[in-house]
Amino acid sequence: MPPPPAAKKGWLSKFGPIGLLLFFLFGKFKYLAVILQVGKFKTFITMLVSIWAYAMFWGWPFAVGFVALLFIHEMGHVVALRMMGIKASAPMFIPFMGAFIGMKQMPKDAYAEALMAYGGPLLGTLGAIGCAGAGVVTGNPFWYALATTGFLLNLFNLLPISPLDGGRIIGVISPKLWILGLIGAVGLFYLTWSPIIALIIIMGSVQIYGASKRPAAEKARYYAVSPGKRIGMGLAFLALLAVTSFGMLAMQVPLDKFQQ
- List the alpha helices (DSSP H) in the chain: 17-28, 31-36, 42-58, 60-83, 110-138, 141-157, 165-170, 177-192, 195-212, 216-222, 227-250, 252-259
Q: Which of 187, 130, 164, 144 is nearest to 237 (CA)?
A: 164
Q: How many CB atoms lie within 10 A of CB 42?
A: 17
Confirm if 154 and 244 have CB atoms less than 8 A apart.
Answer: yes
What is the C-alpha separation between 187 and 150, in angstroms, rounded? 23
CA distance 18 to 9: 14
The pLDDT confidence band at residue 260, using thresholds 50, 70 and 90, is low
104 or 193, which is more confident: 193
Please tell me the pTM assigned to this model: 0.80
Instruction: State how far the Cα of 168 lies from the Cα of 109, in Å rounded to an integer.
Output: 11
Average confidence score pLDDT of the chain:
84
Q: How many residues does the chain have?
A: 260
- Please report the pLDDT score of residue 140 as a whole number: 93
Contacts with 259 (C-beta within 8 Å, 6 or more apart), sequence order: none
SS3 92: strand
Instruction: Give the per-residue pLDDT at 105.
Output: 81
Dihedral (Cα; 25, 28, 29, 31), 10-degree rounding = 110
**Does residue 2 sit in helix, strand or coil?**
coil
**pLDDT tens per residue across span 212-223:** 888 888 888 888
Q: Residues with Cβ < 8 Å from 44, sequence gap 6 or more? A: none
Strand partners, 100: 92
The Cα angle at residue 84 between residues 129 and 170, in degrees rounded to 5: 60
Rounded distance, CA 77 to CA 119, Å? 5
- Is the per-residue pLDDT at 32 higher than 60? no
C-alpha–C-alpha distance, residues 204 and 211, integer Å = 10
* pLDDT higher than threshold 60 for residue 8: no
pLDDT tens figures, 139-173: 999 999 999 999 999 999 999 987 899 999 999 99
Comparison of pLDDT for 22 and 169, the residue scoring more: 169
